[in-house]
Amino acid sequence: MSSTIFILLRQELLLSLLIFLLLFIKIGKERSNESILNIINVLLFINLAAGLFGSSEGGAFNGMFTTNAFIVLEKNILNLAMLLISMQSYAWLKSHKQLAEFYLLLFTSLLGMFFMISSGNLLMFYLGLEMSTIPLAAAANFDLAKRKSSEAAMKLIISSAFSSGILLMGISFLYGTSGTLSFDILTAHISNNPMQLFGFLLLVSGFAFKISAVPFHLWTADVYEGSPVAVTAFLSVVSKAAVLFTFTSILYKVFTPIATVWYGVLVVLSVATILIGNLFALRQDNFKRFLAFSSIAQVGFILIGISGSSQTGSASLVYFVLIYVFSNLAAFGVVSVVSALTGKENISDFKGFYKTNPFLSWVLTIALFSLAGVPPTAGFFGKLFLMMAGAAKENYGLITFAALNMVISFYYYLKVVKAVFMDENEQPIQKLSIPVITKFAMYICIAGIIITGLASMVYDYIYSLSIGM
Amino acid sequence: MNEIPLTHILFVSTALFFIGMYGLFTRRNIITMLMSIELMLNSVNINFVAFNKYLFPDKLDGLFFSLFIITIAAAEAAVAIAIIINLYRSHQSIDVDDATEMKF
Which of B77, B52, B18, B10 has the alpha carbon at shortest distance from A157?
B77
Beta-strand pair A58-60/A65-67: antiparallel
Asked whether residue B103 is assigned to any structural domain, the reply reads no
What residue spans define the domains of chain A? 2-465
> What pairs with residue B95 in β-bridges?
B29
CA atoms within 13 A on the CB side of A169: 29
Min Cα–Cα distance to chain A from B3, Å: 19
Inform me whether the C-beta atom of residue A180 falls under 8 Å from chain B C-beta atoms: yes
- The answer as to whether B1 is a domain residue is no
Q: By residue range, what is the domain housing residue B81? A: 6-98
For residue B72, the chain A residues in CB contact (below 8 A) are 126-127, 130, 134
- Whether B65 is covered by a domain: the verdict is yes
d(CA A126, CA A129): 5
Mean pLDDT on B33-59: 94
Complex confidence, ipTM: 0.95
**pLDDT for the residue numbered A26:** 86
Residue B91 lies in a domain: yes
Tell me the CATH number at B87.
1.10.287.3510
Residue of A105, A126, A154, A160 best to disrupt the B interface, most CBs of B under 10 A? A154
Cα nearest neighbour of B45 on chain A? A172
Q: What is the DSSP letter of A182?
A: B
Cα separations (Å) of A213 from A202, A377, A469?
Answer: 14, 26, 23
Secondary structure element (H or E) that encloses residue A378, with its range: helix A378-391
Contacts of A179 in chain B (CB under 8 A): 55-56, 59, 61
Question: Does the beta-carbon distance from B83 to A137 stay under 8 Å?
Answer: yes
- A104 interaction partners in chain B (CB closer than 8 Å): none
Helix (H, G, I), strand (E, B) or coil at A18: helix
Is residue B52 assigned to a domain?
Answer: yes
Per-residue pLDDT of chain A (469 residues; tens, 9 = 90+): 567 888 888 899 999 999 999 999 888 888 888 888 999 999 999 999 988 887 778 888 888 999 988 999 999 999 999 999 999 999 888 888 888 899 999 999 999 999 999 999 999 999 999 999 999 999 999 988 888 999 999 999 999 999 999 999 999 999 999 999 999 999 999 988 999 999 999 999 999 999 999 889 999 999 999 999 999 999 999 999 999 999 999 999 999 999 899 999 999 999 999 999 999 999 888 999 999 999 999 999 999 999 988 888 899 999 999 999 999 999 999 999 999 888 888 888 888 889 889 999 999 999 999 999 888 899 999 999 999 999 988 889 999 999 999 999 999 999 999 999 988 888 888 888 889 999 999 999 999 999 998 888 888 888 888 877 6
Q: Which of residues 52-81 of B touch A (CB under 8 A)?
A: 55-56, 59, 61-62, 64-65, 68-69, 72, 75-76, 79-80
Q: Which residue of B has its CA nearest to A284?
A: B104
Instruction: Identify residue A178 by its one-letter amino acid code.
Output: S
Instruction: Give the minimum alpha-carbon distance from A183 to chain B in angstroms, rounded to a whole number.
Output: 13
Q: Rounded to an integer, what distance in angstroms lies between the CA atom of residue A44 and that of residue A41?
A: 5
How many independent structural domains does chain B possess?
A: 1
Cβ atoms of A223 and A152 closer than 8 Å? yes
Minimal Cα–Cα distance from B37 to chain A, Å? 6
pTM: 0.94
- Nearest-angstrom CA–CA distance, A236 and B78: 25
Is B61–A157 a contact, with Cβ atoms under 8 angstroms apart?
A: no
Q: Has residue B10 been placed in a domain?
A: yes
- Per-residue pLDDT, A59: 85
What are the angstrom distances between the C-alpha of A100 and each of A21, A31, A450, B19? 10, 11, 34, 41
Give residue A93's identity as a one-letter amino acid code. Answer: L
Nearest beta carbon to residue B102 from set A122, A148, A165: A148
Amino acid letter, residue A469: M
Helix, strand or coil, per DSSP, at residue A281: helix
A189–chain B Cβ distance below 8 A for any pair: no
